[in-house]
Structure formats: C-alpha cells, structure tokens
C-alpha cells in the first residue's frame, strides 16, 4: 500500500490567461506563471525557464488549477448521476457520481486517479467550478483533489504574474 502523501498547491487565475501556480512538494517549491504569451517556471533542483509567444508553454502553466476551473475535459468519458447538495470551501455545491465508461474517447484527467471504480465530483452551483474530485476503489477513497479556499471576481496585483528571481 503506497504511503499517503499531500501536495499543497496555491493558484491564482485571471481571465483571459493570467495564472500563477505554486506547488510545495518534497520540501521544494515549484512556481509557474503565465501572463498572456509570456511564461516562466522555476523547478526545484533543475532550472528556471521562460519564453514568450509559445502557446505550448502558457497552456502548461496552471495544469493543476485549469481542469478545476473548466472541468469539461474531466467529465468526458464518464457517466454522471446527480447525488445531491453539499457545502465545500464555503460554497454551495452539487455532488455527482461519475463512473468511467469502458472505452472513453478522451484520455483521463490528471485530477482523477487511474484505476478507480468511480469518482465523486463536487461542482460549485454558481460557477460550475470543480471544488472536489475524489476517486474510489471498492468504495474506499484513495485519491482526492480539493479546493480548500476559493473566491471569484477578484483583481490581482500585476506583480503576482511578473518574473521574480529566486530568493
């Protein structure tokens, strides 16, 4: 049985393509930022990279938060059944039972764990954002991705999306 692990991710997203994601994992902090066509990322013990005008790179920034904000790729290939209301992260949400189809047309989402019998998805009632994705095997949860705090319609300081040298 694999040891339980937890990864803390903080993310900020502003339309159309301003995103910052900070991930603390194994004692290191990974930071990735996109602001329009400019992007940069700092990967612990490896490198800091950046570029401008590269659509490939800007789509990769925010790979943890984007499927939660726009979850249609998450639910593709799943049979969905409404289970009921719940409150998560201080928000009204709807829980949906999601069972993988035998041969989905699209690959699985990073948010959902491979090998699950079913998933439990909780969507924000007002915005449709995925607040929690829990994967179950033999009715036991074995993977969960959850927004603990969420707010909408906030404006962020532009410096949040600017390159910052490592301290």
For 82, residues 6+ apart whose C-beta sits below 8 A from its C-beta are 94, 95, 96, 97
Give residue-wise pLDDT tens across range 127-144.
999 999 999 999 999 889
- For position 103, what pLDDT does the model report? 64
**Is residue 116 within 8 Å of residue 146, measured between CB atoms?**
no
Give residue-wise pLDDT tens across range 87-133.
999 999 999 999 988 865 555 567 888 888 999 999 999 999 999 99
Q: Residue 88 and residue 32: Cα distance in Å, rounded? A: 26
| pTM to 2 decimal places | 0.83
Beta bridge mates, 132: 122, 146
């Amino acid at each position: 049985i694999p040891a339980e692990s937890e990864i803390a991710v903080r993310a900020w997203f502003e339309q159309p393509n301003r995103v910052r994601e900070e991930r603390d994992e194994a004692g290191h902090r990974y930071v990735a930022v996109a602001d329009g066509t400019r992007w940069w990322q700092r990967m612990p013990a490896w490198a800091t990279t950046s570029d401008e005008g590269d659509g490939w790179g800007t789509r990769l920034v925010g790979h943890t938060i984007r499927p939660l904000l726009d979850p249609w790729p998450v639910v593709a290939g799943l049979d969905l059944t409404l289970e009921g209301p719940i409150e998560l992260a201080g928000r009204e949400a709807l829980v949906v039972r999601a069972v993988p189809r035998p041969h989905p047309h699209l690959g699985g989402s990073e948010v959902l764990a491979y090998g699950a019998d079913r998933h439990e998805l909780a969507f924000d009632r007002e915005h449709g954002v995925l607040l929690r994705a829990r994967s179950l095997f033999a009715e036991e949860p074995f993977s969960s991705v959850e927004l603990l705090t969420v707010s909408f319609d906030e404006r962020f300081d532009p410096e949040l999306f600017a390159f910052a040298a490592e301290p």
